[in-house]
Structure 1
Amino acid sequence: MSAIVVRPFHSGDHPRWDALWQNYNAFYRRSVEDRVTERLWSRLVAGTGEPFGFVAEVDGKVVGLAHYFFVFSTSDWNPRCYMQDLFADSSVRGRGVGRALIEAVYREADRQNASQTYWLTQDSNTTARNLYDRVARATPFMKYQR
């Protein structure tokens, strides 16, 4: 596989980003309203506020995405970086795309002096967890929601 290039979004990325975004949502069996997708894309491509994000490309083709926020904390002075979405096209999984995106988010979190970088995944997502166990540590916290 050619080199992985991780970079901010460009307006021309929309078709590939949207395909990846739809596959990501399908993977998690969730439905996202079109207006939410449109708002997300407009903020990502503007690059002027949250959420922030990166794409990964190989041979000029966008093959992965990461979206992240900075969240203020009641127990740390500096913000925390929450990576909400991470996805790589199935054709490139296991080839370093996810790791490259995580490392880009880590670099940006470090640049912003974030006290930590964190994310969630389903406990059954073994493919992703194999990577996550190598680049981070799992915490004992469980998510609850209403």
Structure 2
Amino acid sequence: MTIAIRPAIAEDLPLIASLIRALADYEKLSHEVRFDEAVLGQKLFGPRPYAEVVIGELDGTPQGFALFFHNFSTFEGKPGIYLEDLFVKPEARGSGLGKALLSHLAALAIERDCARLEWWVLDWNEPSIGFYKSLGAKFMDEWTVMRVDGKALLRLGGNA
């Protein structure tokens, strides 16, 4: 079985959209998927891309993806890579594709002089947690995620 990781191109948008929906289904969050595919395409492949996507293939067939973007560490004084989503289709799990996707991102982080590669994982997702730990990932237990969205974001932004 041949594993290949390649940068996504605009023509991959329907594939990316379907993989995002499959990820949401796996995470029991399909009800949270609200993107408009055309807007997603603009944000990924338009004049100012906000994120990058790589496609993971097995024997030339797309079986997974990683969507990521740069963040910045003020303490390190360097950028990092934040992995927003990583997904491998159930039938391709155990093939090494997930590790290949993460290894690709780690190599990009090194190439781009990043201080780190980081992501979130759902606390109930034991298979993924075990997999990530086996790669040397560690929990950031001292940090709590905060979010402002929807009406609260509009309210807060309206005060600027």
TM-score range, shorter chain: 0.7 to 0.9
| C-alpha displacement of 1:15 | 3.3
When Rg is computed on C-alpha atoms for both structures, the one with the higher figure is: 2
- Are residues 51 and 76 of structure 1, via their aligned partners in 2, closer, same or farther at CA, if it must alter by over 3 Å? same
Q: Deviation string for 1:40-67 (max 9, x for gaps)? A: 3344345963311201011221100001
1:89 maps to 89
Q: Following the alignment from structure 2 to structure 1, what is the Cα–Cα distance between the partners of residues 46 and 67?
A: 13
Q: Following the alignment from structure 2 to structure 1, what is the Cα–Cα distance between the partners of residues 41 and 77?
A: 30
TM-score (norm 2): 0.79
Give the aligned residue type for 1:63: Q
5+ unaligned residues in a row in structure 2: which ranges?
148-160
TM-score (norm 1): 0.86
8 Å contact 1:5–1:56 — kept in the other structure? Answer: yes
Q: Following the alignment from structure 1 to structure 2, what is the Cα–Cα distance between the partners of residues 120 and 141?
A: 14
Question: Secondary structure at the residue paired with 1:141?
Answer: coil
2:55 maps to 55
| C-alpha displacement of 1:21 | 1.1
- Are residues 45 and 91 of structure 1, via their aligned partners in 2, closer, same or farther at CA, if it must alter by over 3 Å? farther
5+ unaligned residues in a row in structure 1: which ranges?
none
8 Å contact 1:50–1:69 — kept in the other structure? Answer: yes
8 Å contact 1:17–1:62 — kept in the other structure? Answer: no
- Are residues 101 and 41 of structure 1, via their aligned partners in 2, closer, same or farther at CA, if it must alter by over 3 Å? farther
86-95 vs 134-143, greater mean Cα deviation = 134-143
16-25 vs 64-73, greater mean Cα deviation = 16-25
Give the aligned residue type for 1:15: P
- Are residues 49 and 124 of structure 1, via their aligned partners in 2, closer, same or farther at CA, if it must alter by over 3 Å? same
Counterpart check, 1:109 vs 2:119: no
Question: Secondary structure at the residue paired with 1:130?
Answer: helix
| C-alpha displacement of 1:78 | 0.7
2:144 maps to 143
8 Å contact 2:80–2:114 — kept in the other structure? Answer: yes
Give the aligned residue type for 1:6: I
8 Å contact 1:82–1:117 — kept in the other structure? Answer: yes
Percent of aligned pairs sharing the same letter: 24
Give the aligned residue type for 2:144: K
Q: How does 1:38-53 map to 2 (within 5 A)?
A: 38-45=38-45, 49-53=49-53
1:21 maps to 20
